Amino acid sequence: MKVDQIGAWLRAQPVVPSVALLLAWVVFGVANVAVHLLSDRMGFHYETAVYLGLSVWRPEPHALGLLIGPLVVALLITALHHAPRTPATATALGGALLVAGNLIQGVPAFLKPITGPRQYGEDSPAWTEALEWLAKFNEQQPTLGLHARTHPPFATLAHTVFEAPFDVGPWGVVVAFTLAGVALVPLCYALARAVGATRSAAWHTALLAAAVPAANVYAVVSVDAVVAMLSTVAVLGLAYARRDRLVLGVILFALGALGANLLSFGGTFLLALAAGLALWDAASRRHFGALACIATGVTLVAITIATLRAGFGYDHLLAFQTASALENPDGIYFVADPLNYVATRLEGVIELLLWLGMASAWLFRPIRGRWTAESTVAIATIALMLISGAYRTSETARAMLFMVPILLLPLRHLDDDAFAGTILLCAMQAMIFQTIGDSLW
């Protein structure tokens, strides 16, 4: 590998958007610290993180990163130059990148999200008590841990499902959730191909999905990785249905949307996305694949909710209302606390862009024809969710992990040099994040 090849990769990066985003982060970050200092003196509760865009991050050095980080970078440089552009190599390299990044923090990086304080594992019932626990969920929801009470019960029961039957303790959950995170890589490849990317562009997109810091940190041992995987299945279904693969597309969307909604109330994003795309297609007189997806998806979700209530005593809509009330105990967020509302909305956007790394700079680089309908409507949908007050505690790098594959689609027109440089820089940022801090939520 010649040094001038790496130089070509780096020279292909979008300098102006990158510098502008960095300066914006510094300016807003300094202003954020100033407001924190002022609020402390005035006795006002200011809800953003002190380190803007790092809502659950704290400095904590990990010496292992000084070994693993350079090895990962060296592997990537070699792979970007020599590896065959196939889904199998993308999956292998992406999976290795995800696992290696978390290995920097040692075994606790895999176990703490399962067994640590305030995690789902604290509230997961025994295998033999799972149905009884589900029936009582609405009653006991306000008393559960921080995460369990603001998610549907199946996010907690997933820990029971993968832990109890195999008698391997939390490692069953670790393996299952990690495999879900790794599955994001081939799904990103398929999604990129579905919207018209070349095989080379799809390969780079899939590898980039594992390199961006948000995925590298949170797509292993996280229920959010499972939600992201199911959401990508649903978006892939939408892409297929809108491009003449109707039956397969509708099936993928319905199953992905159902799974995501059972694990996270944020799964309603997928139904809103499909509805938006159906309106988009109707306005442009295209075919009605998205309409078929939303009709089938809503029907399946509604039947499942009714079955859970009638047959198992669990009311999904009531659980959603309770979670919303717990997140916003003072009522409508922008009315009850307008300053924190504006600050946390801005923080959520900044965090998502920061944790996308160099990939976010490309979103501000004008490239004709790069915006797919899926990406455009997804951004509009997530903007409306933020405006409504969703994701009050920010943490969008983790909670919006499902957005990563969608936000990478506009990069599908990049050439190989631009892709390679972006992947390398994103991976380096991820390794630095893993080495100098702890992002356990």
Give the mean pLDDT per block of 10 residues along the chain (441 residues): 80 91 92 88 83 83 92 94 94 96 87 79 86 95 90 93 75 90 96 95 97 92 92 97 93 97 95 95 84 96 97 96 88 82 91 92 79 92 90 81 94 93 96 87 57
Cα–Cα distance between 271 and 237 in angstroms, integer? 12
Look up the domain containing 329 and give its range.
Answer: 3-438
pLDDT score recorded for residue 221: 80
pTM: 0.94
Rg (CA), the chain: 21
Give the β-pairing of 437-438 and 58-59.
antiparallel
In one-letter notation, the amino acid at residue 75 is: L
CA distance 223 to 229: 10
Find out whether 274 and 280 touch, Cβ atoms under 8 Å.
no
For residue 294, what pLDDT is reported? 96
- Joined together, the tokens standing for residue 433 give 């994040």
Domains contained in the chain, number: 1
* Distance of alpha carbon 370 from alpha carbon 366, whole angstroms: 9
pLDDT number for residue 19:
92
Question: What pLDDT was estimated at residue 75?
Answer: 92
Q: What pLDDT does 164 receive?
A: 67
Query: b/e string for 66-86 if b means 16 or more Cβ within 10 A?
Result: eebbeebeebbbebbeebebe
| 382 within 8 A of 403, measured Cβ to Cβ | yes
| pLDDT for res 439 | 77
Distance CA 121, CA 155 (A): 10
